[in-house]
Structure 1
Amino acid sequence: MKRLHPAWLVAAVAFVALVGAAGFRATPGVMLHPLHEEFGWSLGTISLAVSINLLLFGLTAPFAAALMERFGIRRVVAYALLLVSAGSGLTVFMRHSWELIALWGVLVGLGTGSMALAFVATITGRWFVKRRGLVTGILTAGGAAGQLVFLPVLALLVEARGWRAAALTVAFAALLVVPLVLWRLRDNPADLGVTAYGATDASPPVVVSGGAARRALGALRGAARVPAFWLLAGGFAICGATTNGLIGTHFIPAAHDHGMTEPVAASLLALIGLFDIVGTIASGWLTDRMDSRVLLGWYYALRGLSLLVLPVLFAATVRPSMLVFILFYGLDWVATVPPTVALCREYFGAAGPVVFGWVFASHQFGAAIAATTTGLLRDRIGNYDLAWYIAGGLSIGAAALSLLLLRTRRGVATPAPVAVPAV
């Protein structure tokens, strides 16, 4: 019987860690109204904490990728899970909005940011040569799986026992993953005396000089000179605005505005997570076989069209048309990740995971802006319709940015070296 390659075990542990990190990121939508009702904070104030969480979730990613290169994947992920657990658990003691920002925004944002999609790029870059796109899709789906597992449970907990029970559940779940990470996650194939999956010879370990901040900022300086970086970052910023920032944060309150109960709306979001698993894995499979630029163009264009029709789909009950939207949006949710990771690897080589960390930072920057501005729009005009229309137009713009990458397909530029594998 052929022995399972250790790369698949590492990918499995990374998947579980991503699921654990996703738990707290799934809670903003089910906690907006409970926090508003208990403390009297406006949706705009609560959305600000969500925005800081999303922003740090993105800005931490490139530095976390550099820290993984310097101190190891296992150590960084274990500490990140502890931060998520602490930030979630301590929210039960808060009384003021600044505490929400410090715990929900800062601590959890730093922790989840350390296990963001740059973590996925690092794992696939070190452990896989073959099936990189497919594994990227599977690991990215870990976030969707976390949403699928946690969101309905959290919604029921909030309804039956209050939001504190939900926060403690997430804290405990993240804490449970730490021993598994310490036991099975490894930094490099050489640690186990093997080569990366599909490699014909052993890859030398990455030698990093200087601190993590220097590494991350050096990668940004090099990438900023390549036009493709700005096209990728611009499209991914819109991706974040239309997923985590808009739908992930405000879909449940928007459905509630139309008379739908929060558990039902949360279940619809969980269905998005279910279909997202299928869509992201399929996108990874397609990324191994098709031009990633074309894939991104299709994904963003179809997302934009779906958002333009969303305002007429809301009702007090779940109609078939809303289920069609949930199916479609779920398949498209983070299908953009595998082709974006592949393009960062294509354009930036060994620096690809760290550069992707900066592209992902733009994703979360877009999400943070969308979360706050959408909350403010809802407070000002009393509904979410304008937000959906703006997001639809932006998504079509992201499709145009992605197709502009076709101009750079030949003669790929290379940024200044920032820290490459030793030879």
Structure 2
Amino acid sequence: MQSSDPTAVLAPTRTATRWPWIVAGAAFLTLVAAAGFRSVPGVLMDSLQREFGWGRGTIGFAVSVNLVLYGCFAPFAAALMERFGVRRVAGFALVAIAIGSGAAVFVTAAWQLVLLWGVVVGLGSGSIALSFAALITGRWFVHRAGLVIGVLTAGSSTGQLIFLPVLSRLNEHVGWRSAALTAAGAALVAGGIAIAGIRNRPTDVGVLPYGAPQGYAVPAVTSSQGSLQRALSVLGRCAKRPAFWLLAAAFSICGATTNGLIQTHFVAAAHDHGMPPTTAASLLAVVGVFDIVGTIASGFFSDRIDARVLLVIYYTLRGLSLYALPRLLEPTAEPSTWIFIVFYGLDWVATVPPTIALCRQHFGADAPVAFGWVFASHQIGAAVAATGAGVIRDRTGDYELAWLLAGSLCIAAAVMSIMVGRVRQRVPASA
């Protein structure tokens, strides 16, 4: 068993200056490049439908498999990183993403799309999900942890900002296969960045985490548990606490209303209202611009304000914006559409820093793996929305019911968030 004694391993005495920021910068660039694939399904949905005749529910199912594996593998990936090292796991994961995205150019049947986009890319992307960012932050930063997790979380949005317009134009002018290959190439670049810039722990380079005082003690890292046992044992401990289920339920709604609904279906929904796909993709990229601002600000506030209050604000505002969306989509980007884009962008993954902060408060040293399980619920919610919204569109001819249901779920998530108990003393965690 891994020791729970916080003085089990003494940290080096040399103060960390550049290494924590080098590692954080490499992790940020890795997340930016890896975000290339997450921009692919929404951009290519109409092209795949035209070429193969698949319904949006069928394509959405492939995305759903990806999202479920992306989320459900995250806690095991966090345990694998603890056991085998961040660099090694991240490198293998990015190669898997490159293979799944690149080989998709040869698909001729829907099950092949599910296998490549769903299974292969889902397992790869799940290995460098937000638990990866939580692990990097927890190991390398004592001070400014909220701000750093906000910046790393914004990495995916930055990738969306970069890749959405590029992939959309490639899809329109060259073909959808060129967009898939570009995403594969970005994953390979991300693998090189991870290997070059990431180190597993501060002790590997003889420094302290950022902000750690002299004599700071590092928890013991040697564990006889396998990754599967570690992930399941943490789940068993967390499942006994109501806070875990409240966080998981609220975060599943977060996933449903971002990755599952807007990221997967916004471009297609806007196109239903006469908006050109490239314009809709550019609007979604602007969501990424404001998401960077919102997420970094959320990380800053998470160091200073009760995380539960932040989540109540974020989920309530998101729900109200989704109620308004059916009346905002037009053939052109009207001022009201821009208001939604800016508003939703600021709120997109602003929920992540306070959710991680609550995991750290409630689950202590188990927090990275615990957040992996909470993140799994995020992706299960996203998967349900990706398929469900496609089915609603196929059955009713539009997405209005999907927007209204999602808005109501956000209000429920706000209620769940305030019900998470305040922690006066950090819970010690054994491993």
* Alpha-carbon contact 2:361-2:426 (below 8 Å) kept: no
Q: CA deviation at 1:412?
A: 6.0
What pairs with 1:381-420 in structure 2 (closer than 5 Å)? 381-405=396-420, 408-410=421-423, 414=427, 417-419=429-431
Aligned-partner residue type, residue 60 of structure 2 = S
CA deviations over 1:363-404 (Å, ceiling 9, x no partner): 000000001011000000000001000000100110000011
Cα gap change, 1:3/1:131 in structure 2, threshold over 3 Å: closer, same or farther? closer
Q: CA deviation at 1:206?
A: 1.8
Residue 102 in 1 paired to residue 115 in 2?
A: yes
C-alpha separation in 1, matches of 2:425 and 2:41: 40
C-alpha separation in 2, matches of 1:155 and 1:411: 49
Structure 1 unaligned residues grouped into runs of 5+: none
What pairs with 1:84-233 in structure 2 (closer than 5 Å)? 84-200=97-213, 201-233=216-248
SS at match of 2:394: helix
Cα gap change, 1:226/1:418 in structure 2, threshold over 3 Å: closer, same or farther? same
The worse-fitting range, judged by mean Cα deviation, of 244-253 and 172-181 is 172-181
SS at match of 2:69: helix
Residue 71 in 1 paired to residue 73 in 2?
A: no
C-alpha separation in 1, matches of 2:167 and 2:423: 48
Aligned-partner residue type, residue 179 of structure 1 = G
* Alpha-carbon contact 1:303-1:329 (below 8 Å) kept: yes
Q: TM-score, length-normalised on structure 2?
A: 0.94
Aligned-partner residue type, residue 122 of structure 1 = L
Q: CA deviation at 1:180?
A: 2.3
Q: TM-score, length-normalised on structure 1?
A: 0.96
SS at match of 1:187: coil
C-alpha separation in 2, matches of 1:382 and 1:180: 44
SS at match of 2:73: helix
Name the % identity: 60
CA deviations over 1:248-268 (Å, ceiling 9, x no partner): 001011000000000000000
C-alpha separation in 1, matches of 2:280 and 2:402: 18
C-alpha separation in 2, matches of 1:103 and 1:268: 28
SS at match of 1:208: coil
Q: CA deviation at 1:104?
A: 0.5
C-alpha separation in 2, matches of 1:161 and 1:4: 46
C-alpha separation in 1, matches of 2:80 and 2:327: 46
C-alpha separation in 2, matches of 1:278 and 1:388: 24
Structure 2 unaligned residues grouped into runs of 5+: 1-14
1:307 to 322, 344, 358: 322
Q: CA deviation at 1:203?
A: 1.4
Residue 361 in 1 paired to residue 376 in 2?
A: yes
Q: CA deviation at 1:411?
A: 5.5
* Alpha-carbon contact 2:74-2:129 (below 8 Å) kept: yes
Q: CA deviation at 1:5?
A: 2.5
Moved over 2 A (4+): 2-5, 410-415
What pairs with 1:245-394 in structure 2 (closer than 5 Å)? 245-394=260-409
Q: How many residues align?
A: 415
Q: CA deviation at 1:137?
A: 0.1
Equivalent residue, structure 1, for 2:67: 54
In angstroms, what is the RMSD of aligned CA positions? Answer: 1.3
C-alpha separation in 1, matches of 2:190 and 2:395: 42
C-alpha separation in 2, matches of 1:352 and 1:359: 10
* Alpha-carbon contact 1:254-1:383 (below 8 Å) kept: yes
Residue 26 in 1 paired to residue 50 in 2?
A: no
